[in-house]
Structure 1
């Protein structure tokens, strides 16, 4: 099966290449497009690690010298040195290093045990009721989200172990009495992580990646603070609503959990006095948060802030240099995203997006700007059903939707792209594979496949309906009055 999955992207790429080249496209453009199709299929199936999928596609584009070819003219092919220079350009992208550094920052929370300490403290205070326990889970994720751009890392490193320790205390197991409390906690863990992934630009890696890809197409949207302000009312509403909504729609049979509060308090007390490294981690995180929020005031780029935080962590012994070098997830993400940024930029370089604009650009012209925007939002959001990775989804569709938006004269491209991008986090809830942490929570077995899909559809519909009613008017208001772009 594994070898079959390896062959599928290759077969798909070759199949596309052998198709007749459409009028208006050149051979180099079609070669690049066939490689890009293979890349997307590979990212969806993941027969090998996704970073390696991206590297394979990038190497093919470099070898065939098609990525940096601006004109698509076979007679104007670039040299080998120009091709490799283009191929490595993604490693100079500030957003790629922001994501990489943020993964390293997340290592500080896990290695020092600060994330676990925060979790036990909140559960001890709020865990006297099942609803309070749900809010404790959500708050832990909210605290960690600005600094850990992976909801899988947040869930797997801190929240999931707490949930899977709590549920069995009530004889609530995946195979026995899952609805007693385990299913509720699992769903709150997933849904709250999806919400916090939308609240912060650094809440999940696809957020800054998407902004970077949009910028490659000539549209500058927002910075860290602009993203936060644009989602602020929605973030507050969804964050407060999520545990309560789960309590109403998918209620636990156990309503009180005094034993959990006692258990968490004992666990917290057993941790003892807060060590110096955890204090350093708190102070460093606060410094990073202040610099991110006040980026324009301090004149410090968000990526620079992330690198400063990493330097402080190593300098103060929060993590060692060996920890930094051995952080495989961070380095893998660096290679992966650098490859994807370059490949996504190449699809514009070879002229494919210009061709797409001519073919598809007129389809929404004639509709009112509001109707066009909502149709684009619905299409952009529900396409998540077809992608098992937020990063693959972003890589596949961002350039297309940027082309759509730019082709409609009545729309403000920066405003509309922000409206499309903000829900990416919470729309990850729709499937058991829609976002990084979904397979983890689904794999616990507390919620079966049909229930998972049903709950995901219900929550995604509610979230998106609230976003259309409240979020879109707010984004349009602040674009008009605060000039975020």
Structure 2
């Protein structure tokens, strides 16, 4: 009730403050409800979907939005793509294909702690384009694998041996899951939301290939560097892991030959990913592509509709994503985003900076405000459009700004124990103390921003984004 009172209190306070010059009363009241909903999503007095429903109810009771306006985003493709992504990942995990791929890679490259960690990092990155949920991919597939391997090598928090190798492995796998999520539109459930918001701002769509190409260089630099950086500043006590390949081979032997469900899942995901990449040229959008893969899994009973219905996270996410999209959309239509962008533009412009340093300032403000959010999706829904508009107004090329902010919306999950879906399982395993988690996250965040703006900026010049 305390958290609910805080959420409501924020909304009431903003509601009764006088609206600034240039902002209509309707826009200001919607902002109050929107901020109240965001605070509720951060503090979670109720499940996120329930918080969103309270927000939508308030918009209608106060006549700030009509019913068609409040529920307009439920007809949008983005929330449904996210829900289907959860259902697809459920089939992928249930079939056992994810574990098989991971164990094969570990069996080949896991003889040392560093080699084992790299095998986990690149196995996760390899699967990233095919599983549009970092929580399902990293938390559902690779976290159990990483923990099992750490325990097999004698690294167990319950025995006080977490630093033997587990602390290093867990922290590294978590950090790189933020990077792999940034590299592909289909690697994190909220990335399509950023694409949708960018389309409404720019009037053009970020393609799957353009996003992946832009993230290739900064992403690979980080995937290669982060295990080495943590190996120096947070090293494992045990450098060699001769048992890891054997453990993986034992698990593969236990799995047996490729099952029919695994073959069907592989085929379904291959078709879906192929359509995600090439479907635009034949008029197949991302949702239709995802539905093709889901239909194959449903028809072949790899997954069932009952299992889809019981996936509470999918339905909860569908609900609150749609609510946030609706409110954010009408904040833009009512003119608030334009007003806010003008204020920030005036502030940044007063510094007299060229667009490059101005964009760096915008990135820093956007990135570190993520400490206030328990979800990358919530952050994107609340702030992406405004900061993209500010960046463009300061002279930043639109496509560059849209892709950079979209990718960094994943990377900034590195900061906290709650900022992205892969954080809770890795932190909850008990290998890394909370203070060390935040310390290392902040240190690496500086490295990430430098790589994305410097190495990424140079790469984006080569590929013509500016």
Q: Does 1:446 align with 2:431?
A: yes
Q: Could you tell me which residue of structure 2 aligns to residue 38 of structure 1?
A: 36
Q: How far off is 1:216 after superposition? A: 3.2
Give the whole-Å Cα distance in 1 for the aligned partners of 2:156 and 2:21.
59
Q: How far off is 1:221 after superposition? A: 4.5
Q: How far off is 1:323 after superposition? A: 2.1
TM-score with structure 1 setting the length:
0.91
Task: Name segments (4+ residues, structure 1) moved above 4 Å.
Answer: none
TM-score with structure 2 setting the length:
0.94
Give the whole-Å Cα distance in 2 for the aligned partners of 1:362 and 1:212.
26
Q: How far off is 1:44 after superposition? A: 0.9
The one-character-per-residue Cα deviations of 1:438-464 (angstroms, maximum 9, x if unpaired) are 122111111112211121112111122
Aligned length: 463
Give the whole-Å Cα distance in 2 for the aligned partners of 1:263 and 1:167.
11
Q: Does 1:294 align with 2:256?
A: no
| Coordinate RMSD, CA, aligned | 1.9
Give the whole-Å Cα distance in 2 for the aligned partners of 1:241 and 1:411.
28
Change (3 A) 1:411 1:192: closer
Which ranges of structure 2 fall in alignment gaps of 5 or more residues?
none
Q: Does 1:307 align with 2:291?
A: yes
CA contact (8 A) 1:146 1:200 kept: yes
Q: Could you tell me which residue of structure 1 aligns to residue 347 of structure 2?
A: 363
Of the three residues 60, 63, 66, the one matched with 1:65 is: 63
Give the whole-Å Cα distance in 1 for the aligned partners of 2:448 and 2:240.
27
Of the three residues 278, 300, 304, the one matched with 1:320 is: 304
Q: How far off is 1:63 after superposition? A: 2.8
Give the whole-Å Cα distance in 2 for the aligned partners of 1:254 and 1:206.
37
Q: Could you tell me which residue of structure 1 aligns to residue 333 of structure 2?
A: 349
CA contact (8 A) 1:291 1:298 kept: no
Give the whole-Å Cα distance in 2 for the aligned partners of 1:206 and 1:233.
22
Q: How far off is 1:399 after superposition? A: 2.8
Q: How far off is 1:320 after superposition? A: 1.9
Say which is worse superposed, 260-269 or 381-390, in terms of deviation: 381-390
Q: How far off is 1:475 after superposition? A: 2.4
Q: Could you tell me which residue of structure 2 aligns to residue 5 of structure 1?
A: 3
The one-character-per-residue Cα deviations of 1:223-252 (angstroms, maximum 9, x if unpaired) are 222211111122222222232332233221
Q: How far off is 1:13 after superposition? A: 0.6
Q: Could you tell me which residue of structure 2 aligns to residue 80 of structure 1?
A: none
Q: Does 1:167 align with 2:150?
A: yes
Say which is worse superposed, 300-309 or 411-420, in terms of deviation: 411-420
CA contact (8 A) 2:15 2:28 kept: yes
Q: How far off is 1:477 after superposition? A: 3.5
1:185 counterpart SS class: helix
CA contact (8 A) 2:397 2:465 kept: no
Q: Could you tell me which residue of structure 2 aligns to residue 377 of structure 1?
A: 363
The one-character-per-residue Cα deviations of 1:71-120 (angstroms, maximum 9, x if unpaired) are xxxxxxxxxxxx21122211111222222221111011111111122222
CA contact (8 A) 2:37 2:51 kept: yes
Which ranges of structure 1 fall in alignment gaps of 5 or more residues?
68-82
